[in-house]
Amino acid sequence: MVEVVFEIHDDNDDENDIDEYPNVTAEEYYHSLGEANTPLWDGCTTYTKLKLASELVNLKSELVNLKSESVISQSHYKRMLEIMKGISLNGWATIPNDFYEAKKMLAPLYLHKHKIHACVNNCMLYYKETEEIDNCIHFLEPRYKPTYSR
């Protein structure tokens, strides 16, 4: 009776098992995780290709002045990578060539973001079924700041 309730099947019920390949997004993610284990050169135990790229992107983001402008430009970033390649073993063929390539390497690992608006009174979110509404349903406050032409 317990077997009927929980629908226990025998181990020979493999006819519905199908091998599936991951979708494109998952495949890119697994590829990036695979690169996490790629050493910069044979015998290098401190840095992998992905660790170096993530630390360099993080370094650039930390070098920001009070006006939220990057202190290091992309051309300086690229020059820094060229110097690192010049002094390294075998030119570090696995190091990214520029900031764009480093960010592209890390892109599959980033979480996607979706901006959700809120009422000025914090009484509701403009999300899912209320995503298209332009005024608060409780206080009729406008969703966006009104602009006045002169």
Better-predicted residue by pLDDT, 120 or 83: 120
Q: What is the pLDDT of residue 137?
A: 93
Q: Quick one: what percent of the chain has pLDDT higher than 90? A: 13
pLDDT reading at 105 higher than 60: yes
- Long-range contacts for 99-104 (Cβ within 8 Å, ≥24 apart)? 99/57, 99/60, 99/74, 100/74, 102/53, 102/56, 102/57, 103/57
Report which DSSP code applies to 117. Answer: E
- Mean pLDDT of the chain, nearest integer: 75
Q: What is the pLDDT of residue 23?
A: 82
Q: What is the pLDDT of residue 39?
A: 78
Confidence of residue 134 (pLDDT cuts 50, 70, 90): very high
